Structure 1
């Protein structure tokens, strides 16, 4: 009777282990949604760094990544229709070839650079890629190449044209023009907005008159029709002083004359 009780217990353990093995084998088997083939090896299932879990085999995903990189796609999405997760390049590094991973890195860098203002150094011995990481759009002009340390204009992509505007950079014909431009920039001379001759302000008001007859502001370089400019506070003060002088020199004598005539009429 004791043997009859122990016999079922010994035979139940192998049956339980067999059921666990069958259940585990069923859970490790999946069908790839790309090639529609059953996959029995659990290590063949692609894992997107636990961002998303979809039944794709590793071989199909490697081919999928290669096709996307051939189209210069940097942000590779999961191929599942209802998934918007991006593939993690670092988690895919061990699954793809070294050449594929290097190309993926190049495409990522190129897509990042394309989103920023960039220019190549105009120095022929350098030609380094310079990226405007500070923003500012077309306002960036004078800058230094981080590689060769030479000045150049970021806007017109030529060597720095000291003392000349970007639209005038093509007028520099020889070394004398370049030297004069450097001197003009160092002395902070201002060019007339009409005839483009250089004018030096030694002292006095910021509103100067060029030899061509045009009056302009020495601070901002803009042509003015009156003896003031609102670009600087000092120019604004000069405007008020000018108005005050007009009042004193013109209005005040008329006021005194009117007062004298009024008193004379009162005496009569």
Structure 2
């Protein structure tokens, strides 16, 4: 008696199943990209292969690539918006810049990246390097109130407050008047030797020795250490002088209290003798 063999159905392997599913998913997409459609922006029927815009499997609204390029350019250049949403009605999906890089071109893609960077650091104080051959974006990551800063790209000094080239020895309000090279060189020399300026007449003063309180030729007294005008022979920026002043005031107060108590006791003894 012969043995009968029953043929069992072949069970596909997991890799074969995944490949079949990918092929089944890719077929409708390729067919939808090649078939005729009507763009919802220009309302023009299109049957050219590859003209339908694809938003990386997020949404598949019928838009042609020409209209999407114009749409992205308007959002970037006119509206300055980096988070660009799909133009379809009631669609909250955003466009992927990396997926659209080959579509929009390198110049518009770089502009897209710059807008996204500016939006990411919108709440942080920032400026651009004032030198024309650099002009990189610089962010104040450490906080505070910076003034003299060095560009991380070109390694040149600039003023973070007035966003201009570093004006050594001069204030931000005077930076626009420094057109002579001699003024710039003199300002650098004053900064190196740590010269100070009178707060009234703005003349430079060099202290070789002596007290920190300077009497300028314009008639005012100012502190050479902090540059502020003072009306006494000491300044609050000097801890030693402040302590000495307060010690002197306390000593005067103690002497006054002791003298008042002595007078009070002397008056009391005087009235006591009169009563007897």
TM bin, normalised by shorter chain, reads 0.5 to 0.7
Q: Give TM-score, length-normalised by structure 2.
A: 0.60
1:4 corresponds in structure 2 to none
Query: Structure 1 residues 183, 37: closer, same or farther in 2, change over 3 A?
Result: closer
Alpha-carbon separation, structure 1, partners of 2:65 and 2:194: 63
2:256 corresponds in structure 1 to 251
Q: Which runs of 5+ in 1 are unaligned?
A: 1-20
Q: How does 1:171-190 map to 2 (within 5 A)?
A: 172=178, 174=180, 176-190=182-196
Q: What are the superposed Cα offsets for residues 115-174 of structure 1, whole Å, 9 maximum, x if unpaired? A: 6422431xxxx6310322116899443223445433333444544222221223355575
Q: Which runs of 5+ in 2 are unaligned?
A: 1-23
Q: How many residues align?
A: 230
Measure how far apart 1:194 and its partner are: 1.8
Residue 130 (1) aligns with residue 136 (2): yes
Q: 2:215 aligns with which of 210, 213, 216?
A: 210
Alpha-carbon separation, structure 2, partners of 1:165 and 1:185: 12
Q: 1:64 aligns with which of 68, 86, 90?
A: 68
Query: Structure 1 residues 199, 104: closer, same or farther in 2, change over 3 A?
Result: same
1:240 corresponds in structure 2 to 246
In angstroms, what is the RMSD of aligned CA positions? 4.3
Measure how far apart 1:83 and its partner are: 1.8
Query: Structure 1 residues 229, 135: closer, same or farther in 2, change over 3 A?
Result: farther
Alpha-carbon separation, structure 2, partners of 1:199 and 1:257: 51
Alpha-carbon separation, structure 1, partners of 2:172 and 2:118: 25
Q: Report SS of the residue matched to 2:68.
A: helix
Alpha-carbon separation, structure 2, partners of 1:137 and 1:148: 22
Q: Give TM-score, length-normalised by structure 1.
A: 0.62
2:96 corresponds in structure 1 to 88
